[in-house]
């Protein structure tokens, strides 16, 4: 089983040189720590910046420079600042090549639910609905099961949707899967996890073809 950093590390292998990438809050943010050598990507933050740099040193925070998680950040040379409409123009217009975000549930047709639990306080979808409806390449980073041990990879989402048929790949603590017309296609197992374990933890349709290799981290 992978931990949060392991999931991030595996997702980082999907990065391609020259991509613009939007990382959601939580595990996705950690992806930035594992960019493969020789690959260079730029981070977009949907509140309005490209070329996001590391967190500032203590005392160097600028209240006028935050990321979409409202954290103080810095900028790298080559970065740029823009307003919210241009920010989502680049997202909606598919100029950002990859979005990585967390989810509560993913269905085997690519539906995703990650913003609302009926009966609980709803904080809002922020930019998630725009991101999932737009990017060609959506990777979900999440645990395979919830705290009660129930599968988060479903035949159909039970929670209100964030987007339909949009997720392309799911990386969990147990497996890497592509979304295909036949369901979750198992590509890799996490170290120490068997295909049987994954089958048991997956409620949605799971396609297992041939030998499933273990992830190389």
| Residues designated catalytic | 46
- Residue from 1, 4, 13, 195 touching another protein (CB under 8 A): that is 4
Q: Near another protein by CB under 8 A, which window of 27-35, 141-149, 177-185, 188-196?
A: 27-35
Q: Smallest gap, in angstroms, from Cβ of residue 132 to another protein?
A: 8
Residues 116-135 that bind another protein (CB under 8 A): 121-130, 133-134
* 53 contacts another protein (rule: CB under 8 A): yes
* 34 contacts another protein (rule: CB under 8 A): yes
Sheet containing 175-180, strands listed edge to edge, beginning at the edge strand earlier in sequence = 75-81, 49-52, 42-45, 20-23, 98-101, 138-141, 169-171, 175-180, 183-189, 206-207
The kind and range of the H/E element at 128 are helix 128-134
Token pair 């500032």: residue: 56
133 vs 207, which CB is nearer to another protein? 133
Q: Smallest gap, in angstroms, from Cβ of residue 207 to another protein?
A: 23
- Residue from 9, 29, 114, 151 touching another protein (CB under 8 A): that is 29
- Residue from 163, 175, 202, 204 touching another protein (CB under 8 A): that is 163
* 195 contacts another protein (rule: CB under 8 A): no
x-marked contacts with another protein along 64-103 as a string, rule CB under 8 A: xxxx-xxxxx-xxxxxxxxxxxxxxxxxxxxxx-------
Terminal-to-terminal C-alpha distance of the chain: 12
Rounded Cα distance between 144 and 174, Å, is 6
Q: Near another protein by CB under 8 A, which window of 100-108, 138-146, 159-167, 191-199?
A: 159-167
Rounded Cα distance between 13 and 99, Å, is 14
| Pair type for strands 169-171 and 138-141 | parallel
CA-wise closest residue to 128 among 157, 166, 179: 166
């Amino acid at each position: 089983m992978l931990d949060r950093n392991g999931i991030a590390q595996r997702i980082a292998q999907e990065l391609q040189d020259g991509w613009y990438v939007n990382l959601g809050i939580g595990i996705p943010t950690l992806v930035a720590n594992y960019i493969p050598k020789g690959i260079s990507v730029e981070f977009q933050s949907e509140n309005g910046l490209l070329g996001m740099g590391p967190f500032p040193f203590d005392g160097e925070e600028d209240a006028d420079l935050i990321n979409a998680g409202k954290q103080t950040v810095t900028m790298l040379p080559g970065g740029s600042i823009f307003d919210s409409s241009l920010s989502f123009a680049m997202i909606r217009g598919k100029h950002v090549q990859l979005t990585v975000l967390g989810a509560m549930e993913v269905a085997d047709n690519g539906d995703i639910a990650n913003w609302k639990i009926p009966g609980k306080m709803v904080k809002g979808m922020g930019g998630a609905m725009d991101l999932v409806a737009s990017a060609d390449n959506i990777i979900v980073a999440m645990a395979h099961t919830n705290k009660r041990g129930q599968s988060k990879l479903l035949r159909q989402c039970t929670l209100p949707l964030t987007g339909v048929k949009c997720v392309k790949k799911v990386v969990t603590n147990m497996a890497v899967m592509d979304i295909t017309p036949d369901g979750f296609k198992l590509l890799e197992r996490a170290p120490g996890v068997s295909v049987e374990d994954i089958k048991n933890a997956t409620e949605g349709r799971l396609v297992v073809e041939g030998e499933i290799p273990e992830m190389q981290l």
